[in-house]
Amino acid sequence: MRLHREGFNIMLTTGLVLLTLNLLAYMYFFSDNATAMIIMAVVSLILFVLIVQFFRIPNRLLTTGETRVIAPADGTIVVIEETEEGEYFKARRRQISIFMSPLNVHVNRNPVSGVVRYFKYYPGKYLVAWHPKSSTENERTTVVIESASGVQVLMRQIAGAVARRIIWYVKEGQPVEQGQEMGFIKFGSRVDVFLPLDAEIHVKIGDRTKGGVTVLAELA
């Protein structure tokens, strides 16, 4: 396991702030109260560990396959439905949504290999990630990857009430590899994937996904 570069500044800042607070508490507030100091130290350590685990990148054997659509994120399947995708396709598509809690790994990965045909970033609101309007009103990105067979898969990173920063590493015209990091969302969020209607879905509501490992669907 390694730690994501997006977390280095946050982890360093958090560590320094907690260390400073504990030193001040020891020198000025709880110098004669060992129990209070122990409680504060334990709480600080738990908070720091929670921050660090959020930026973890576990070692995994990634799943690949030209016709497979791989989960772009860790989390829980909360939506599987046929819907109108109005931004890029402007047509009916099969939507799969993954909710990422603060305890999940938050690296986002390319669901298929191919070329990025479309990319767009939208500033927006910070509604809770499961809100029906979060996919159209929240801060978000939209990425469309066209596979070697010509099938296009749309992936949307969506910020939530806690997640307030979306990171991406792709741009239009860029070739990308399946399972490769394409971005990161800090502290809880959602990822939507839009597939052709004839895609064979391999997951169900409530399933837990592992980014780069779980097969969401098979393309025709």
Contact 126, 159 (CB under 8 A): yes
Q: Could you tell me which residues are beta bridge partners of residue 183?
A: 108, 168
Residue 63 lies in a domain: no
No. of H helices and E strands in the chain?
3, 16
Q: Which residues are catalytic?
A: 189
Q: Mean pLDDT, to the nearest integer, of 104-113?
A: 91
The model's pLDDT over 149-190, given as tens digits with 9 standing for 90+, comes to 999 999 999 986 555 578 899 999 999 999 999 998 876 688
Residue 153 lies in a domain: yes
pTM, two decimals, is 0.80
Same domain, yes or no: 32 and 73: no
Crossing angle, helix 34-54 and helix 8-24, to 10 degrees? 180
Residue 62 lies in a domain: no
Identify the domain containing residue 172 by its residue range.
68-218
